[in-house]
Amino acid sequence: MNDRANESDVLHLPYRELPLADPGTPPTSTPGRYLVWLAGHQRWLLSLNALFGIGWMVAQALVFAALGAAIDHGVDRHDTAALLGWVGVVLGLGLVQAICGSLRHQLAVTNWLHASYRSIQVLGRHMATAGPALTEAIPAGDVVNTANSDAIRVGTAYDSLARFLGAIVSWVVVSFILLATSRTLGLVVLVGVPVLGALSVPLMRPLHRHQAAQRESAGRLAALGADTVAGLRILRGVGGEEVFHANYVTQSQRVRAAGVRLATPQAALESGQVLLPAVLTTVVTFLGAHEVMAGRLQPGQLVAFFGYATFLTTPLRTAIEYIINATQAFVAAGKIQRVLRVEATVTDVPAPLDWPEPLREIRDARTGLVLGRGEFAGLVGETTDETAALVDRLGRFVADVEGVSVNGVPLGELALAELRRRVVVSEIEPRLFAGELRHELMPHETPDDERILRALATASALEVLDALDDGLATPLDERGRGLSGGQRQRLALARAVLTGAEVLLLVEPTSAVDAHTEGRVAARLAEARAGATTLVASSSPLVLERCDVVSLLVGGRVVERGRHEELLERSPLYRRIVLREETP
């Protein structure tokens, strides 16, 4: 039975709650080391689970010995006391089996959950720190599949481990009982089970290879599907739906073919779970019957032998099931380590410095940009990519931040976690996540509806709220698919305002809204951020006229700096960019 099927039945035992406060730092050298690392973190749970797993399966095996003894010592000899005594032993073994089985099941699910969720947490933490470097090295679909599927598959090895150990011990116990009763039958079992189990070994290598290929192919399909959905509007505009549909069909057929190739060794293994135990049962039953006819076995012993022959199918099936699960876990661990081996491009220096207090200025010597304390500043460039690249440097989302300093302290030497708390960057493409709107707007602290409403008013997004059926309790679809581009942009701006960041860096925060809304957002944003440091990269006159100072970025250097009105008068280039004048 698959223990993961009934995880809802697990009792609330005093184990560590999930998620874990610190999932630890796993090795990234080999999949085997990763699995051993996971086992080390839950060794006591695994040990206790193994104890109950062994007790559960050994109790099943000993029931047949007790039944045989009841027949030979009680029924055959008409000894009521002996019969009752052995019946009591059977009942006791049944009770042990029930208790051990229940606790084994609970601990199996607990071990599966701990291994899977520790892997999910490790992956989530690494994804958050690796940032763009991850999707540059591995397709986004592969990353999603690793977090959603492979992390869960890793847990299957620990889910069935206790049953596997119980199978080994019970096989040894039964073998010794058979040896003590009949050397021939004992040798058949001792030799037969490993031989039959070894027949599955040649299937392990192709199973491992085909599983890895199938997971790789499925990851590419998921990445292709995600890219197609994300660019569906563009595809329709250029008539590219048929091309991408054909590509998706082609990749789908590759996934199907990989699944068929995987099915061959897997079906052979699963068929072996039925066939091989049946062969063993047939041999043991045949030899046992001959032993009885020769007078070397008693009737009760024959019944016990038949029970053993039937029981031994369970350890063998369990061993084959564990081999399949362990193989899947090994492949999954390799996929996890592939993600974990991608190094972040932005990391802390060995001895990071504290954020300088109080903030006086942020300066970029390379471009000449200066952002003063409490300024509501504008940044204008010839292209959005140019200004976005500078904002990424100021927010330290790229490795090269040489020349950027805070109060003269190099930005690259500041503690990254503190920098992320103090400096918030809102990108040009608003990214919303699935979940209740209230919690998506304030994901890092307890939501405060009053603060949320003020931020929504600042972003001129109260009408967005009015259009939602359940207000702040409305669940958002993935990426906010049910909202327009302007609605997503305003909600993302409200989320940025709600951080209360000491330094807020915004890239084209009003590019998807109409002029009337844009002017209202600019006025309210300047008011809401009064006294705090804000840089808005925008070419909108409605936004720039609200700025204390505007910097003009050309060719990677700030060439003009002043009020919006001043720059309109003295800089033809600024005027052309902001007013969108045609070049003569």
Report whether pLDDT(182) > 60.
yes
CA within 13 Å, CB half, 128: 9
pLDDT in the model for residue 226: 62
Report whether pLDDT(237) > 60.
no
Closest CA to 193 of 270, 264, 272: 272
Q: Which of 165-179, 314-328, 486-500 shows the highest mean pLDDT? A: 486-500
Report whether pLDDT(6) > 60.
no
Q: Which superfamily, per CATH, for 361-579?
A: P-loop containing nucleotide triphosphate hydrolases (3.40.50.300)
pTM summary value? 0.66
Q: Is 170 exposed, middle or buried (0-12, 13-18, 19+ CB in 10 A)?
A: buried
Mean pLDDT of 91-115: 91
Report whether pLDDT(4) > 50.
no
Pairwise pLDDT comparison (228 vs 383), residue with the higher score: 383
pLDDT in the model for residue 249: 78
pLDDT in the model for residue 508: 92
pLDDT band (50, 70, 90) for residue 224: low
pLDDT in the model for residue 183: 78
Report whether pLDDT(61) > 60.
yes
27-340 maps to CATH 1.20.1560.10: yes
Question: Distance between alpha carbon 441 and the CA centroid of its chain, in Å?
Answer: 22
Pairwise pLDDT comparison (232 vs 105), residue with the higher score: 105
CA within 13 Å, CB half, 571: 25
Report whether pLDDT(329) > 80.
yes
pLDDT in the model for residue 14: 43
Closest CA to 499 of 443, 428, 572: 443
Pairwise pLDDT comparison (329 vs 241), residue with the higher score: 329
pLDDT in the model for residue 525: 95
What mean pLDDT, rounded, does the chain reach?
Answer: 83
Instruction: Identify the weakest region by mean pLDDT among 62-71, 325-334, 375-384.
Output: 62-71
Share of the chain above pLDDT 70, in %: 85
Pairwise pLDDT comparison (84 vs 192), residue with the higher score: 84
Is 361-579 the same fold as 27-340? no
How far apart CA 440 and CA 497 sit, in angstroms, is 13
Report whether pLDDT(1) > 70.
no
pLDDT band (50, 70, 90) for residue 178: confident
Mean pLDDT of 546-569: 95
Report whether pLDDT(519) > 90.
yes
Token pair recorded at residue 71 = 């027949």
Closest CA to 395 of 424, 364, 437: 424
Task: Give the position of tokens 């689970």.
Answer: 49
Pairwise pLDDT comparison (214 vs 342), residue with the higher score: 342
pLDDT in the model for residue 13: 45
pLDDT in the model for residue 8: 38
CB 353 within 8 A of CB 414: yes
pLDDT in the model for residue 378: 96
Closest CA to 124 of 336, 420, 442: 336
pLDDT in the model for residue 477: 78
pLDDT in the model for residue 501: 93
For the chain, give every domain's residue range: 27-340, 361-579
Report whether pLDDT(235) > 50.
no
Closest CA to 342 of 150, 138, 145: 138
CA dist 467 to 111, 147, 510, Å?
A: 45, 34, 20
Token pair recorded at residue 435 = 């979940």
Share of the chain above pLDDT 90, in %: 40
Element (H, E) at 540: none
pLDDT in the model for residue 393: 94
pLDDT band (50, 70, 90) for residue 171: confident
Element (H, E) at 85: helix 80-130
